[in-house]
Structure 1
Amino acid sequence: MYLSQARATDPSRDAAATTPGGSPPPGGTARARVPAAVVALGLVSLVTDASAEMVTAILPMYLMYGLGVGYLQLGALDGLHTGATALFRIGGGYAADRFGRSKAVATSGYALSALTKLLFPAVGSAPAVGALVAADRIGKGIRTAPRDALITAAVPEEDLGRAFGVHRAMDTCGALLGPLIAFAVLLAVPGGYDTAFLVSFCLAAAGVVVIVAFVRRGPAPAPRERGLGLRGRLACLRTPALRRCTLAAALLGLLTVGDMSFYVGLQHRLDVPAQALPLLPIGTALVFMTAAVPVGVLADRIGRWPLFLGGHLSALAAYVFLWLAPFTGWAATAVVLCLYGLFYAATDGVLMAYVAPLIPPAARTTGLAVVQTAQSLARAAGALAFGAAAAFGGLGTAFGLFGCTFLAVVAAAALIHRPGKAS
């Protein structure tokens, strides 16, 4: 666990300019440790993700064996689980900017998700479960941008990569713990879905307590900024640099394979036993959790945008490996999972650390939500495109198509948005 301490006062460090790529100037001073607010938000995400992944792990079993739903309903709920967050991110970001209440908006999102866990045992039909899943995802959509804005406000610009790396590592740790806790509960209480939902609620409620008690509210907006409506705040985002960055990130998202398709493709292409399929995401998460902090520190030093592009090259390497499958088995699986974990470590928090300083403070949370939404919708479209390619041409052809095209897309993204390019 990272011990936090207040950043030492150093006027020369405060005044130091950063390079356009988000890295500090050469010869910079020693870095402070991660602020307490970032560690507290990481702990909130850890217990909340553990709670969410508990539900994700047991929900298919609960629906199919507890409520008796079919594959069609299960697929519809899975799509709802994936897509509902994007619709509410901009609303949550705008509310946080408009009222200067990033902490309050984030807390409301965490509280809404926690409440759904308590209500799962009280419902007995697939539509009711779908409504709760939607409410849980709405909570996630509301809280994501305000939470990232709180991280940005708590850390000097030159240390954002490290801070987001710490947060994402703790978040991923929770994602790893959730299924293990769910498995342990159901092992101790066979068929005890209600017990698992109650434990999940307790974890989520603990996250709400932590954010209320240990996270300070973000800086209040200036009086002239409070009166800006949604149109005015979106107008603040129409800077050439931010437009290019958002377009490039969305373009890269279009060539990103969805996780479910990726793991199924890996299992088929590398001859992994079918029963091991649920374990594959754990391998990616372990690499992500281990690499998130050192990759974040590296991003602060060499530039966040180059590292973000480099992360996509890691995904490209994984796709090409699955296309050509030069060897199979567990060794090949370990190689691909390492590449995929590095992709997430170099893209998830690094993009937020890079883009936050590009956004005017009056619209920072809204801007983060816009970038996240654009990337999320593009990735959803990319997942659909890969599914169509795999259905018509097979998995090998689909990975080859995405792999061959991805290199050109990375190059195009690099040309569309060049840090330091005249605005």
Structure 2
Amino acid sequence: MKTTITRTVWILSLVSLFTDTASEMLYPIMPIYLKSIGFSILLIGILEGLAEAVAGLSKGYFGQMSDSKARRAPFVQLGYALSAISKPMMALFVYPLWIFFARTTDRLGKGIRTGARDAMLSAETTKKNKGQIFGFHRSLDTFGAVLGPVLALLYLYFFPEDYINLFYIAFIPGVFAIVASFLLKDQKENIISKKKKINFFSFLNYWKQSSAQYRKVVIGLLFFALFNSSDVFLLLKAKEAGLDDTWVISIYIFYNLIYALTAYPLGTFADKVGLKKMFIFGLIIFSLVYFGMGLTSNLYIIIALFFGYGIYAAATEGISKAWITNISNENDTATAVGTYAAFQSIAAMIASVFAGLLWFYFGAKITFIVTAIATSFAIIYFLGNVGNASPIFSQSSKNTK
């Protein structure tokens, strides 16, 4: 049984670390930069919505293509390369169509790599350490979300409003990610190449072909995703509580630091207690955080709630991927992950629109409480309708030694 982090897991985790550092370096300044070149709030919303739609739908298509060709590394390498080169593209020209193209290129890269990357991670696990491996990957990935904003804040402290050069600087960790990704090699897995025609939406057929257990788990995950809106709403709540912009970014960094520090140990613990139990624990924390956000305006309590939000993320995001791969046939791992990720992206967009409407018409309190109540129903669903996250398909001989 594998008890250590393999070379492939280290490489994938470092690639994610570099990529997230590049992406999150631009997080604090993206809306400001877009406004400075003439984008309205409406146009920014359309840009982000289109980019996320492309990323979401492409995850299913490219996940199925990865399974069809029985290849992982090329999809991972191309996906991370596209995300890296999109960073300087954003600064080269300021025409709206070019900005749309550059932003979509970034999200398309995410769509290309997601299913193949998670399938590659899954191939490095056994049923006894899946939470540990996915948790380790999430830890390093999320450290990028700590390093990126910190580097951006430091740079802008010394060079205020120098947004253009920050896009070029963000390309540097992106290059490291590209170089590291080419150290990846496809291993000989028991994956059978499928010579069949695939179109952009053919991954939807997987839903009919998947196991009953997969459908039960994904239905619960998607119900939760329909109410799990963007983190922007949490940051807006912190802003309303009296934090200035620098402190809002700092609390975002704090949340990611807690997430990064706890994802690996919680993933390891999940292997002992069960992935399902850990995921439900994360949902309970999420529900408590959102109830708290709805009922308080105390700044110190809100900071404490962001600590809890980091625990929630560590207990669910990597765990959900580990769960999906555990209940999927190894020949369809990338398709299973990609199909779920595609539906999740669409659900996340709906969640953010719904939360925005609730906030606009009824205020922050109702927005957070409705989300917390909906999450309680998701917890009840998982407790009553979904079995344990045990593998229902045989793993390769490599993984069951």
Q: Common fold, TM-score beyond 0.5? A: yes
Structure-to-structure mapping, 1:264-279, within 5 angstroms: 264-268=236-240, 270-273=241-244, 276-279=247-250
Q: Structure 1 residue 183: deviation in Å?
A: 3.1
Task: Give the SS at the match of 2:27.
Answer: helix
Residue of structure 1 in register with 2:360 after alignment:
391
Cα RMSD, aligned residues only: 2.3
Q: Structure 1 residue 156: deviation in Å?
A: 1.8
Q: Please say if 1:373 is aligned against 2:357.
A: no
Please give the alpha-carbon distance, in whole angstroms, between the structure 2 residues aligned to 1:141 and 1:79.
Answer: 14
Please give the alpha-carbon distance, in whole angstroms, between the structure 1 residues aligned to 2:307 and 2:207.
Answer: 41
Q: Please say if 1:382 is aligned against 2:354.
A: no
Question: Please, which of 152, 158, 162 is the counterpart of residue 182 of structure 1?
Answer: 152
Please give the alpha-carbon distance, in whole angstroms, between the structure 2 residues aligned to 1:396 and 1:192.
Answer: 37
Q: Structure 1 residue 271: deviation in Å?
A: 4.5
8 Å CA contact 2:33, 2:163 repeated in 1:
yes
Question: Please, which of 169, 179, 201 is the counterpart of residue 209 of structure 1?
Answer: 179
Please give the alpha-carbon distance, in whole angstroms, between the structure 2 residues aligned to 1:55 and 1:402.
Answer: 28
Percent of matched pairs sharing the same residue: 24
Structure-to-structure mapping, 1:337-348, within 5 angstroms: 337-348=306-317
Residue of structure 2 in register with 1:227 after alignment:
195
Question: Please, which of 87, 110, 114 is the counterpart of residue 84 of structure 2?
Answer: 114
Q: Structure 1 residue 178: deviation in Å?
A: 1.2
8 Å CA contact 2:207, 2:215 repeated in 1:
no
Q: Structure 1 residue 220: deviation in Å?
A: 5.1
The alignment's TM-score, normalised by the length of structure 1, stands at: 0.85
| Distance change >3 Å, CA 192–CA 321, structure 1 → 2 | closer
Provide runs of 4+ in structure 1 moved above 6 Å.
Answer: none
8 Å CA contact 2:127, 2:326 repeated in 1:
yes
Task: Give the SS at the match of 1:204.
Answer: helix
Please give the alpha-carbon distance, in whole angstroms, between the structure 1 residues aligned to 2:245 and 2:254.
Answer: 15
Please give the alpha-carbon distance, in whole angstroms, between the structure 1 residues aligned to 2:208 and 2:7.
Answer: 30
- One-letter amino acid of the counterpart of residue 382, structure 2: A
Q: Please say if 1:144 is aligned against 2:107.
A: no
- One-letter amino acid of the counterpart of residue 270, structure 2: A
Q: Structure 1 residue 401: deviation in Å?
A: 2.3
Please give the alpha-carbon distance, in whole angstroms, between the structure 1 residues aligned to 2:168 and 2:293.
Answer: 40
The alignment's TM-score, normalised by the length of structure 2, stands at: 0.89
The range that moved more, 73-82 or 138-147, is 73-82
Q: Please say if 1:400 is aligned against 2:372.
A: no
Residue of structure 1 in register with 2:131 after alignment:
161
Q: Please say if 1:259 is aligned against 2:231.
A: yes
Task: Give the SS at the match of 1:226.
Answer: coil
Residue of structure 1 in register with 2:105 after alignment:
135
| Distance change >3 Å, CA 115–CA 329, structure 1 → 2 | closer
Please give the alpha-carbon distance, in whole angstroms, between the structure 2 residues aligned to 1:390 and 1:61.
Answer: 22
Residue of structure 1 in register with 2:25 after alignment:
54
Question: Please, which of 251, 259, 279 is the counterpart of residue 280 of structure 1?
Answer: 251
Q: How many residues align?
A: 387
Please give the alpha-carbon distance, in whole angstroms, between the structure 1 residues aligned to 2:288 and 2:379.
Answer: 12
Please give the alpha-carbon distance, in whole angstroms, between the structure 2 residues aligned to 1:193 and 1:393.
Answer: 36
Q: Please say if 1:240 is aligned against 2:212.
A: yes
Q: Deviations over 1:248-307 (max 9, x none)?
A: 110111222321112212443x45456532222112101101110111011100000111
Please give the alpha-carbon distance, in whole angstroms, between the structure 1 residues aligned to 2:389 and 2:11.
Answer: 34
- Which consecutive unaligned segments of at least 5 residues does structure 1 have? 1-12, 14-30
Please give the alpha-carbon distance, in whole angstroms, between the structure 2 residues aligned to 1:280 and 1:377.
Answer: 27
Q: Deviations over 1:35-56 (max 9, x none)?
A: 1211111100011111112233
Residue of structure 1 in register with 2:326 after alignment:
357
8 Å CA contact 1:55, 1:200 repeated in 2:
yes
Q: Please say if 1:324 is aligned against 2:295.
A: yes
The range that moved more, 275-284 or 232-241, is 232-241
Q: Structure 1 residue 81: deviation in Å?
A: 4.1
Q: Structure 1 residue 221: deviation in Å?
A: 5.6
8 Å CA contact 1:236, 1:360 repeated in 2:
no
Structure-to-structure mapping, 1:82-121, within 5 angstroms: 82-121=52-91
Question: Please, which of 107, 116, 141 is the counterpart of residue 171 of structure 1?
Answer: 141
Residue of structure 2 in register with 1:315 after alignment:
286
8 Å CA contact 1:271, 1:328 repeated in 2:
no
- One-letter amino acid of the counterpart of residue 226, structure 1: K
The range that moved more, 134-143 or 117-126, is 117-126
Q: Structure 1 residue 195: deviation in Å?
A: 2.8
Please give the alpha-carbon distance, in whole angstroms, between the structure 1 residues aligned to 2:208 and 2:130.
Answer: 22
- One-letter amino acid of the counterpart of residue 163, structure 1: I
| Distance change >3 Å, CA 416–CA 57, structure 1 → 2 | same
Residue of structure 2 in register with 1:199 after alignment:
169
The range that moved more, 344-353 or 273-282, is 273-282
Q: Structure 1 residue 348: deviation in Å?
A: 0.6
Please give the alpha-carbon distance, in whole angstroms, between the structure 2 residues aligned to 1:143 and 1:222.
Answer: 18
| Distance change >3 Å, CA 419–CA 229, structure 1 → 2 | farther
- Which consecutive unaligned segments of at least 5 residues does structure 2 have? 393-401
Please give the alpha-carbon distance, in whole angstroms, between the structure 1 residues aligned to 2:342 and 2:264.
Answer: 24
The range that moved more, 385-394 or 243-252, is 385-394
8 Å CA contact 1:110, 1:143 repeated in 2:
yes
Residue of structure 2 in register with 1:75 after alignment:
45
Please give the alpha-carbon distance, in whole angstroms, between the structure 2 residues aligned to 1:333 and 1:159.
Answer: 34
Please give the alpha-carbon distance, in whole angstroms, between the structure 2 residues aligned to 1:257 and 1:69.
Answer: 23
Residue of structure 2 in register with 1:18 after alignment:
none
8 Å CA contact 1:258, 1:383 repeated in 2:
yes
- One-letter amino acid of the counterpart of residue 312, structure 1: L
Please give the alpha-carbon distance, in whole angstroms, between the structure 2 residues aligned to 1:273 and 1:44.
Answer: 33
Q: Structure 1 residue 374: deviation in Å?
A: 2.1
The range that moved more, 78-87 or 147-156, is 78-87
Residue of structure 1 in register with 2:304 after alignment:
335
Q: Structure 1 residue 368: deviation in Å?
A: 0.7
